[in-house]
Amino acid sequence: MKNLRSQTLGMLQRIEALSGRPVEFKPDSSLTLRATLQLARNGAPSHVLRYRPTNEPLDYWVAYQAGYLLRLLELPPAERFDFAGTGTAPSQVEELLSTGQPQADGDRSTLEQFAEMTAHWALLNLRSYAIGMRIDQWLAGDHPELRSLQAAGIRSMQQENLLLLSKHMGGMSIPVPLLGPVAAYALFADRLLGQTSYAIPYQAAGVLELGAELLAILDKLPADAAHDRELVDAWAAAIGMAGWYAWIPYKP
């Protein structure tokens, strides 16, 4: 990707230096995200940066993805962990749906399908938004040259998140507590960009108070990567997701 800025390329070079493996670029028009960065594992010769071909600058999206790998690789090897579901999340979501939202007779298969989909989404958001806010803080503080691209990227993610408030299957919708991370991200984005508009829809959805609690946890803990697991665990406890996942020692 010859059109990336030197600062963004520098982040990828840092990944290469820390891991001892190069970053391979692969265009992929099927991606729903703008870019993803897959860590080399199990003898793979390179990390793989997949990106959706576009005329728009991809520096923010690449830098954001690079941030996750940099936070992992900059930790001592003994402190590197993977985040993995324990398999209990779908049943926990089913319980939330069954007790909080009336179910139609014969809707068992739809309940199971929606619960599994929601559980996967909730686990992904728990980790990605908690740590992702740290990455956005880092980019805003250390890479002001990406400021306008960051603002555009955040705006795009906020627009996508708004769709979650109206996401339904049959008579079911995402349980309010599981919307906490996206509400926290809206509050965070407003603060980072000096505005108030992103958080407004989450007030009406009844989840803004939880979002504020999660943001307060983020503010209270040190921002270095050594506290990322503590941050995710504290968010999980506040939301009611403790036990849905485990930290597994990282294996390159």
Choose the weakest-confidence range: 18-22, 52-56, 139-143, 151-155: 52-56
Q: Are 33 and 62 in contact (CB under 8 A)?
A: no
Phi then psi for 250, rounded to 5 degrees? -70, 135
Q: What is the pLDDT of residue 103?
A: 54
Burial class of residue 117, CB neighbours in 10 A (0-12, 13-18, 19+): middle
Q: What is the pLDDT of residue 88?
A: 95
Residue 171 parent element (H or E): none
Domain-wise residue ranges, the chain: 6-74, 82-249
The encoded tokens of residue 188 equal 């965070």
Helix axes of 59-73 and 108-142: crossing angle, nearest 10 degrees: 90
pTM for the predicted model, two decimal places: 0.92
- Over residues 158-166, the mean pLDDT reads 88
- Over residues 9-33, the mean pLDDT reads 94
Kindly report, residue by residue over 111-153, the tens digit of the pLDDT: 888 899 999 999 999 999 999 999 999 999 999 999 999 999 9
105: pLDDT confidence band, cut at 50, 70 and 90?
Answer: very low
CATH no. of 6-74: 3.30.160
- How far apart CA 183 and CA 162 sit, in angstroms, is 10
The residues with which 41 forms a beta bridge, in sequence order, are none
Phi then psi for 167, rounded to 5 degrees? -75, 125
Q: Among candidates 35, 43, 45, which has minimal Cα distance to 68?
A: 35
**One-letter identity of residue 60:** Y
The residues with which 36 forms a beta bridge, in sequence order, are 50
